[in-house]
Structure 1
Amino acid sequence: MAAKKWSQDVTEHSNALDLAKDVFTRDDPKSIALSLKRSAEHSKRRKSSPFRSAMSMLTFYINRAGKDLPAKQKKVLEEAKDELRAAFGR
């Protein structure tokens, strides 16, 4: 069995947010944003505001996936940032 990358471990076992399974593989930006918002608002372990925690996790995933992230999925995730801002009224 191949060793998991540390970034995969962070995504799966974040100490700040309990993420829905496969949230970053969804094809609907609004669905991703609302799931992250829900996770951030319900977390008792996060160290910053729900908005910052959710946006940080999304940005972390995009940056860590890097060149391995298909262009179509990267576009969806980038759109999810805008949806997340809207969901938090920013």
Structure 2
Amino acid sequence: MARKYSKKASADVKRAMKKRKAGTLKSGRSGKTAKSRKQAIAIGLSEARAKGRKVPKKASRKRTVAKARKAA
């Protein structure tokens, strides 16, 4: 089975996780310190996308809501 993310994208996420642990990971326009694990992963993937790495597109709101309804 093919990888979902490229190795370089994984490295970007790893770097973001290390920054979060050190307390220096900044998020978004506000520049506030990101503290949650999920937030660090999201920031890492977002940076990887910006660099043009192989990362799947963000799940759209519609698709997530539809999946939740289907499961229920």
- TM-score range, shorter-chain basis? 0.3 to 0.5
Greater gyration radius: 2
Higher strand share: 2
Task: Tell me the TM-score normalised to structure 2 length.
Answer: 0.35
Task: Tell me the TM-score normalised to structure 1 length.
Answer: 0.31
